[in-house]
Amino acid sequence: MGLLISLLLAAAAPAGAQAPRTLSGHRAAVEAVAFSPDGKYVASGGMDSNVALWTAKTGALKKLLVGHKGGVWGLHFSPEGDYLASADTGNIEVWTVPGGKNYKSVPGHAHTLYALRFSPAGEYLAAAGFGGVGLWTFPECDVYKVMKGPVQSAHALAFVPNVTSLVTGNANGTVTVWNMNDGRIARTINAHKDAVKALALTPDGKLAVSAGLDGDVKVWKLADGSLVKTFAAHAGGARAVAVSPDGATVASGGMDGLVKLWPLRGPQVKESKELKDHEASVEAVAFSPDGKSLVSGSKDKTVKIWKLK
């Protein structure tokens, strides 16, 4: 453990104006990353079963959160930033921030979990997993609802801003809109030719952006399920996606080891910027709250913070 702490504390300084800050120390692939709502911290979850809380400005380790029994697939900060939830294949751990104390352990709704999200006001915690979505009240962490449907596994999810529905990206290539009142699927979009690995909504909740193992990143109107635009994004498969806080830019990551930025508005379907520094598949991306930075996690075991503005 002492060696691991030493490694996690070492953060390489940027080598140049465009070089990212590299946070090294995870002993296996990094599958989840997030910025705290105030932008002070970055959290990362790895297949080494660890969750790391980093200081975003310096890259120094704030806390190593140990308690998972398997690899960490998803994590998310509460809206106020005072809690961090993380999920391994079967359980959810909720941690206090920045202290890193384990607040609660919550059994998952399914034997496999892939993603976590707090609702915009923080009254619910949702997990995407085998067969559908689990919902818990927060901070009580009591089971509120389990929503099941023909999705195989839900790999990613996002709440719409009014919290009447949520959206998942699924193993069978679909994007589904779930009605939170009755727990049923309100709309199914046949989105990709292969599994959907990541999903993000625009801040107004009108558009969904999906990343598929077919290599494409696609933008959809949730109101009617129509396709807005397609980005031919990543050879080998797209595995991560995020939308900037101003709703103008899409970030994606893929099996080619690249992070790419795309214009969400207008007809352009070519990337506006390509960020290259990872040595293996990019598994997760997230924008900072001010949109000036982007964090990425990779199978090369590193976390990178990119300055965009």
Distances (CA, A) of 129 to 52, 109, 145, 255, 271: 23, 8, 14, 22, 31
Structure letter (DSSP) for residue 100: -
The answer as to whether 48 is a domain residue is yes
Whether the predicted pLDDT of 13 surpasses 60:
no
Q: What is the pTM of this model?
A: 0.92
- pLDDT at site 111: 83
Give the pLDDT confidence of 221-239 residue by residue, as tens digits.
999 999 999 999 999 999 9
Query: What is the pLDDT at residue 309?
Result: 87
In-domain check, residue 212: yes
Q: What's the pLDDT tens digit per position in 25-82? A: 899 999 999 999 999 999 999 999 999 999 999 999 999 999 999 999 999 999 999 9
Contact 79, 85 (CB under 8 A): no
**CB-based contact 107:90 (threshold 8 Å):** yes
CATH of the domain at 79: 2.130.10.10
Helix (H) or strand (E) holding 2: helix 2-9
Q: Is residue 16 scored above 50 in pLDDT?
A: no
Residue 144 is assigned to a structural domain of this protein: yes
Would 30 be classed as within a structural domain?
yes
Residue 3, in any domain of the structure: no
Digit-coded pLDDT (tens) for 131-187: 999 999 999 999 999 999 999 999 999 999 988 999 999 999 999 999 999 999 999
Distance CA 74, CA 18 (A): 28
pLDDT of residue 2: 42
Host domain of residue 163 = 20-307
Instruction: Name the band, by pLDDT with cuts 50, 70 and 90, for residue 17.
Output: very low
Other CB atoms closer than 10 Å to residue 122's CB: what's the count? Answer: 15
Instruction: Give yes or no for a cis peptide into 98 (omega within 30° of 0).
Output: yes
How do residues 93-119 score in pLDDT, each as one tens digit?
999 999 999 999 999 998 899 999 999
Angstrom distances, CA of residue 33 to CA of 54, 87, 135, 181, 292: 11, 12, 21, 30, 16
pLDDT at 56: 97
Residue 1 has pLDDT above 90, yes or no: no
Task: Please check whether residue 7 lies inside any domain of the structure.
Answer: no
Contacts of 115 (CB under 8 A, 6+ apart): 32, 73, 74, 87, 127, 128, 154, 155, 156, 157
**Which of 248, 308, 250 lies closest to 275 in space, CA to CA?**
308
pLDDT digits (tens, 9 = 90+) for 237-287: 999 999 999 999 999 999 999 999 999 999 999 999 999 999 999 999 999
Would residue 104 count as lying in a domain?
A: yes
- For 234, other C-beta atoms within 10 Å of its C-beta total 27
Query: Which residues touch 268 (CB under 8 Å, ≥6 apart)?
Result: none
Count the domains in the chain: 1
Domain assignment of residue 2, yes or no: no
